Structure 1
Amino acid sequence: MTTLSERPAVQGRRLPATIRAYVALTKPRIIELLLITTLPAMMLAVGGLPSWELLLATMAGGTLAAAAANVFNCWYDRDIDRLMHRTERRPLATGEITPRAALVFGLVLTVLSVALLYVTTTPLAAVLALGAIAYYAVVYTMVLKRHTRHSTLFGGVPGAAPVLIGWAAVTGTLAWPAVVFFGVVFCWQLPHFWALAMRFRADYARADVPMLPVVASPLSVGRQTVVWSWLTVAVSLLLWPVADGYGIGWVYTGAAAALGLWFVVEAHRLLRRIRSGAETKPMQLFHVSISYMALLSVAIIVDVLV
């Protein structure tokens, strides 16, 4: 039996674990990847470094918005998360956090993110953040994910939204460079996520989620991966003429060409392994895709500063 004197110690040990569980619901790794594109979008919009106050407010608001969307995703998908080895340890799947507590947490994060962006940046940035949360939580998670192979395609919209939010936070409007950069991130998400879905195909099949690698042949997935990799590179090069007046020049263009070559070569390697019947190793492309987007964002930052 736990004595009264022991209870504070037990509660003290549980608090860090509870905090870690709530943080896990927000999927921090995904948030980091989303925020990578926010800073270059803001710098493009202002033609240099935005104020530290605006930068911190936008990053904080964007973090809270992405966290809210991910919490709603975990809340709705808790049944299939229990069936997938990749997600079976998520707090809602294990019962560490109750569905009601998670739902309240997501709603609180939503209110905080929208309010912070509205007060400290622009109304448009706040509206875009709210729209991205609703799109990911409802349109992608609840409507598309379990019913169509095209869920990844349509789900790319909220994934690329940080670009628009970052631009709108600076200017209160949108412009063609923001749209093109949004297009880069949108196109990039398909080969990026399909590589992950290929690795965990059995998980998605077990949960009856019709991701493309589950319902299409490996050869079809490989071909579509190559096509979207080339589209990503093509749109990335389009940013040069469109954003020429915003500080984009030879530094970014050279980096985009070199990084794009690396990206498409790895996509073709994946297709070649599929055709030969060898081990596909899709995570190689997955990791390359992360480095590609991170370095492309750095190239924008460097070019604007130069």
Structure 2
Amino acid sequence: MKALIVFGALLLSTPLYAAQLVLELGASSRTWQTEELLKHPDVQTVQITDDVSYKKPMSYRAVPLTTLLTGVQADDHLQAVALDGFAAEMPAAPLLNKSGARAWLAIEDPAKPWPPLGEGKHSAGPFYLVWTDPQAGHISPEQWPYAVATIKRLSAVADRFPALLPAPNLAKDDPINKGFELFQKNCLACHRLNGAGDAQFGPDLNIPFNPTEYFSGDFLKRYIRDPQGLRHWPQGKMPGFSAAVLPDSELDLLVGYLKHMAGRKQPLAP
């Protein structure tokens, strides 16, 4: 009986390091356990002054993401996949920065858990991609994925999902192509379009209807700015995109791409 009590006490006093982060980077792929990352030689405490998910200052034990991206080059493309199906598409270059806007992998210590993101919700752990000085790199809220399970090196979005491409006769610097770049950065983490994309989170933005087909006037832009201000419901998860994150000129380009794609619907695969 005494042995059982001692064993139970040990279980209660010993942190459990069950979480793991899978890095699929090619030859340098590996799986990191929470305990390994918390003991990483480059781990440090970082202060986030305006946390995108918690909406307040936060402090984390974190590792510079570039330290973990062995073999990744600036012109590579990465995808961070969360436990809930959120799939952030990100060019590698900003993630490799060692100054200015800098990406960090925040690690939740099971002995010191982070607060929940809201009533009835989990925390942002076990792994959360956060940024110091994000304004310096024009970092979007979609580039702060939380509950990250996997980071993959993949081909560019345009190569993987041709159904997302604007008309091929457009010039490279056409505003529609610029809008496509903004769509990848700000929308593709949650949404598919023409059934194309890896996200499992939000609705398709072209099938059966494109939002430019049912939002009249400036209501689509107002919705992107403040989703809960236009359609309020307790389970709404879409973040608002402020003018600081998505200036009016870029919002116009993004909506221009969506409107263009309304004329390029493709049937979904059965």
TM-score (norm 2): 0.31
Which structure's residues are more often strand, by fraction? 2
Indicate the structure whose relative CO is greater, using CA pairs within 8 Å and at least 6 residues apart. Answer: 1
Q: Which has the higher helix share?
A: 1
> Normalization by structure 1: what TM-score?
0.28
